Amino acid sequence: MEVAEKNIPCNSVVGGNFEEVCSEKVIRFKPPLYKQRYQFVRDLVDRHEPKKVADLGCGDTKLLKLLKIYPCIQLLVGVDINEEKLHSNGHHLSPYLGEFVKPRDLDLTVTLYHGSVVERDSRLLGFDLITCIELIEHLNSDDLARFPEVVFGYLSPSMIVISTPNAEFNPLFPTVTLRDADHKFEWSRMEFQTWASRVADSYNYCVEFTGVGTPPAGFEHVGYCTQIGVFRKNSGKLAEPFVSQQHDQHVYKAVYTTSYPSLQQEKVLKFVLVGELLIQVERLRLRHQRMLREQEKELDPKPGDTDFSQAPHLLLGEVFTEAEKARIENSPQPFCEGEKFCIPLRRLLAYPKLHRLCVEEDRMRSLIADSVCLSNDGSAIVVDLHNSWDYWPEDN
């Protein structure tokens, strides 16, 4: 965080509410405060690995864009009252080309809904994490009263994160009363903690308080610029203000949805499997050629011959851990039948990039059968040992 002193329009400092020009100390956060809030959520995702995450009041979907990269998340939902924002930002959540080339292990669906956070929609039931980042201060008194009933009582996720401005920090900004023209209120730490603790008790949650945006030296007593409550559902008997009899209640309008390619999808798995197979088969074919040439050179050495024994990486093509080496060495060896080179499927599955796909030999055989040439018994891939494009510089 930096503190700078200069003449600037006050409305460029916080929320655009002010017109007069003042000479004040201006607080700038590094990283910017919104990035610190997002990083707080990302750290929670890292620690707890939720599968289903919803961001209420998702706005420009920046947080969703950051969260979609996490391999643990399989369903990512954003809800906002501003339909135009959702339409204009949905494309940011589409899969990139690289996510087709290197797909996720698990499926991911991303959906944006237009609607109010104080309406009940059954499609948000059963979530692991719901985030409400700088949301509640935009709610009027009636909506704020309904908010706990919907989010804590009806949706009842395993964890809820709520962030909101800390009003005690506001005197450090030039002539600030509220940080944004749309804010209906801004709470002190005591006000927020009193509200949050009452909500937690009512709906069988526990809550911990923290924040982001450290105050400047000498003002530690005002607390963080953004205060955060992390609510976790208590184990044991759950509160039952709303017994879920409304599982088909769909009030939100789906504005955007997309699904990401993953190894759980057979077409994607086949694409990745065949691609990795062809790469590994080519490495093994070239390695076998080198070994044959090395044997020839041992029988009839010539000046300038390459000593492959001094460069094992040329033979292996990859660097393996001891466990990987042991797995490979314990698998069936490639072999030649005339001018054909045969690589057992079990051998190929022992290599790390194929092993991590967790494909059984029988399934692998059925997936690749129409893409490669298999031996008569289907236990090995068969390729020509020599190709017309092979090039050996020492032959010249």
Please state, in angstroms and rounded to a whole number, the distance separating the CA atoms of residues 119 and 96: 33
Handedness of CA 367, 373, 378, 382 (dihedral sign): negative
> Is the Cβ–Cβ distance between 375 and 332 less than 8 Å?
no
Note whether 131 and 53 are within 8 A (CB).
Answer: yes
DSSP 167: G
Q: Distances from the Cα of 272 to the Cαs of 65, 67, 233, 301, 375, in angstroms?
A: 25, 24, 40, 42, 22
DSSP code, position 38: H
Model confidence at 20, pLDDT cuts 50, 70, 90, reads: very low
Across residues 254-263, what is the average pLDDT?
Answer: 96
User: What is the arrangement of strands in the sheet containing 380-384, beginning at the earlier edge strand?
Assistant: 335-337, 340-344, 380-384
Strand order of the β-sheet with 108-114 is 205-212, 226-233, 159-165, 129-133, 52-56, 75-80, 108-114, 253-260
Is residue 312's pLDDT more than 50?
A: no
* Euclidean distance between CA atoms 156 and 193, whole angstroms: 20
Judged by average pLDDT, the poorest of 271-280, 298-307, 372-381 is 298-307
Q: For residue 27, what pLDDT is reported? A: 81
Residues 281, 106: Cα–Cα separation, whole Å: 27
The tokens 């700088």 sit on which residue?
134
Amino acid type, 250? H
Look-up of token digits 């001094």: 310
pLDDT interval class at 317 (50, 70, 90): low
Confidence of residue 349 (pLDDT cuts 50, 70, 90): very high
Rounded Cα distance, 216 and 222, in Å:
10
User: Is this structure's pTM higher than 0.85?
Assistant: no
User: Sorting pLDDT into bands at 50, 70 and 90, what band is 360?
Assistant: very high
- pLDDT band of 92, cuts 50, 70, 90: very high
Q: Which domains does the chain have, with CATH numbers?
A: 33-260 (3.40.50.150), 266-296+320-384 (no CATH)
Residue 292 has pLDDT above 90, yes or no: no
Residue 132's pLDDT band (cuts 50, 70, 90): very high
The confidence band for 291, taking pLDDT boundaries of 50, 70 and 90, is confident
Place of tokens 């955007």: 256
Q: Is 50 exceeded by the pLDDT of residue 182? A: yes
Closest CA to 367 of 299, 269, 247: 269
**Residues 202-207: what's their mean pLDDT?**
97
Report residue 2 as tokens.
């930096």
Helix residue spans in the chain (DSSP H): 33-48, 62-67, 83-89, 98-101, 141-148, 189-202, 266-299, 312-316, 322-329, 345-350, 352-355, 361-368
- CA 153-156-157 angle, to 5 degrees, is 160
Residue 298 has pLDDT above 80, yes or no: no
User: Given this model, what pLDDT does residue 318 score?
Assistant: 67
Phi then psi for residue 5, to 5 deg, are -120, 120
Q: Which is nearest to 283 in space by CA: 240, 324, 252, 314?
A: 314
Q: What is the mean pLDDT of residues 122-136?
A: 97
289 pLDDT band, cuts 50/70/90, is confident
∠ CA 195-142-230, rounded to 5°: 30
